[in-house]
Amino acid sequence: MSDLKFTRRGVLKSGAALGAAGVAPSFFVRNAWAQDFTNNPGNGSSVVLGFNVPQTGAYADEGADELRAYQLAVKHINGEGDGGMLNTMTPLSLKGNGVLGKKVEYVTGDTQTKSDAARASAKRMIEKDGAIMITGGSSSGVAVAVQSLCHEAGIIFMAGLTHSNDTTGKDKRKYGFRHFFNAYMSGAALGPVLEARYGKDRNAYHLTADYTWGWTQEESIKNTTEALGWKTTAAVRTPLGAGDFSQYITPVLNSGADVLILNHYGKDMINSLTQAVQFGLRDKQVNGKNFVIVVPLFSRLMAQGAGENIKGILGTTNWNWSLTDAGSQAFVKSFGAEYGFPPSQAAHTCYTQALLYANACETAGTFYPCEVINALEGFKFDGAGNGPTEYRAADHQCFKDVLVVEGNENPSSQFDLLQVVQVVPRAQVEYDPAIFGGELGTCS
């Protein structure tokens, strides 16, 4: 019964010992472990990846974009289409003939942006569909939940869009990898730009989504701004999905604050921003300064929903299609040719994650997760957008340049919503992995 998966630990001990030695030639290794790890494709002609994205609920459009990116990635890995980033990424082991000669197939599932549903969906992929890797998702709660599930199951998880420090901080896992940046990096990137634009003497008022991601972002941004010399007037928690935020915005008016920081994402961000602008906050003068709004995490898809209101608002993003480096261009070009519109940052992250996984397998010469993890840990690459990038071994967080963007005042097209203000170099956003605690665990 190949479905009985969770009892693998005892069985795998010997395999792990061999892996630690790590000297055997790849063909030998593959055969030696033929039965030893979860969903081993064995001698089959194909390998199955699980794309677990939100298909219903508030992030359905983002999920749809993630899925498009994955489908494109599968095409490119299998040697169809124009190859996309396969042409620009270095170093690269992929040959455009699938992974280790096996054709890549995929299964999809709906996370519903709920941890329970996401885990159920991931379990289906593992138990029923024989997926050897799970990837995707559009919230940190889901990412952390699925990551720990995959760790237990011995399946590699390549996180999709997740921005909380926890994913590669206190909840990091040996089997989980994050390409997306995090709240700390947002803060570190945003700090100097905020100082340059708005000076050192500011009073910030935070509205924060009342859950884990919101809190870590609030903390990160607060640390950054307070280091600049800004004061924090208040940090107010708002219920997730409040819809109407007016009752939280009215107290901002006479709080004496001159900066409003919205630690909201998705629909909450659209609503709170739209409403804050309606309350005249963007045109207000406080303490003889122009009142400003900052949205630390921007997403182009979501920015569409806020319409005109994002103009001139600063924030950060992992990636934007307007980047001109070769990797981004190649990806945008093949995505645009395939679907007729540019990819979102979620699409970029997911595409890259799929490629990185496939490449790691090819490099390791096996699908055996511990070997793949070894190949991914500390992997340095370029040509996938955002310049030279490293998957840090200590916490499985990708380090690369971070974009500080602002809402475009004068867009040249319907997709041209965000304008890159500054590409913050990687060195500026790096941090000591110890600050967030957590423990990767081991590969067994």
Coil vs helix vs strand at 371: helix
DSSP state of 309: G
Q: Given candidates 12, 49, 94, 117, which one binds other proteins under the rule CB under 8 A?
A: 117
Q: Which parts of 358-377 interact with other proteins (CB under 8 A)? A: none
State the Cα angle at 323 between 319 and 324, rounded to 5°. 150
Nearest one of 118, 4, 109, 17 to 368, comparing CA atoms:
17
240 token code pair: 């997730």
Cβ proximity of 75 and 131 under 8 Å:
no
Position 156 contacts other proteins (CB under 8 A): no
Q: Given candidates 4, 17, 427, 435, which one binds other proteins under the rule CB under 8 A?
A: 4
Q: Given candidates 41, 416, 421, 425, which one binds other proteins under the rule CB under 8 A?
A: 416
Q: What is the rounded radius of gyration, in angstroms, for the C-alpha atoms of the chain? A: 22
Position 378 contacts other proteins (CB under 8 A): no
Position 344 contacts other proteins (CB under 8 A): no
User: Per-residue x/- marks for other proteins, 259-288, CB under 8 A?
Assistant: --------x--xx--xx--xxx--x-----
Position 87 contacts other proteins (CB under 8 A): no
Strand order in the sheet with 133-136: 103-110, 46-53, 133-136, 156-159, 176-178
Give the phi and the psi of residue 395 in degrees, each rounded to 5: -140, 5
Coil vs helix vs strand at 216: helix
Measure Cα distances from 358 to 13, 83, 100 in Å.
Answer: 25, 14, 9
Rounded-to-integer distance, Cα 14 and Cα 1, Å: 21
Closer of 63 and 98 to other proteins (Cβ)? 63
Q: Which parts of 15-54 interact with other proteins (CB under 8 A)? A: none
DSSP 42-101: TT-SEEEEEEEE--SSTTHHHHHHHHHHHHHHHHHHTT-TT-GGGGT-BS----SSSBTT
Position 237 contacts other proteins (CB under 8 A): yes
Position 211 contacts other proteins (CB under 8 A): yes
Q: Given candidates 38, 39, 135, 140, which one binds other proteins under the rule CB under 8 A?
A: 140
Position 407 contacts other proteins (CB under 8 A): no
State the Cα angle at 323 between 319 and 328, rounded to 5°. 75
Of 4-12, 22-30, 368-376, 424-432, the window that binds other proteins (rule: CB under 8 A) is 4-12
Position 66 contacts other proteins (CB under 8 A): no
Position 236 contacts other proteins (CB under 8 A): yes
Rounded-to-integer distance, Cα 51 and Cα 357, Å: 13
Closer of 253 and 393 to other proteins (Cβ)? 253
Q: In whole angstroms, how close is the CB of 343 to other proteins at the nearest point?
A: 10
Q: Which parts of 162-201 interact with other proteins (CB under 8 A)? A: 166, 171
Q: How many CB atoms lie within 10 A of CB 71?
A: 17
Closer of 61 and 430 to other proteins (Cβ)? 61
Nearest one of 178, 147, 173, 146 to 163, comparing CA atoms:
178
Q: In whole angstroms, how close is the CB of 363 to other proteins at the nearest point?
A: 26
User: Per-residue x/- marks for other proteins, 312-331, CB under 8 A?
Assistant: --------------------
Give the number of residues in contact with other proteins, rule: CB under 8 A. 100
Of 122-130, 366-374, 396-404, 422-430, the window that binds other proteins (rule: CB under 8 A) is 122-130
Rounded-to-integer distance, Cα 330 and Cα 82, Å: 9
Position 128 contacts other proteins (CB under 8 A): yes
Of 186-194, 224-232, 305-313, 373-381, the window that binds other proteins (rule: CB under 8 A) is 305-313
Of 35-43, 92-100, 192-200, 406-414, the window that binds other proteins (rule: CB under 8 A) is 406-414
Closer of 112 and 389 to other proteins (Cβ)? 112
Position 151 contacts other proteins (CB under 8 A): yes
Nearest one of 200, 252, 263 to 226, comparing CA atoms:
200
Position 415 contacts other proteins (CB under 8 A): yes
Of 31-39, 103-111, 353-361, 368-376, the window that binds other proteins (rule: CB under 8 A) is 103-111
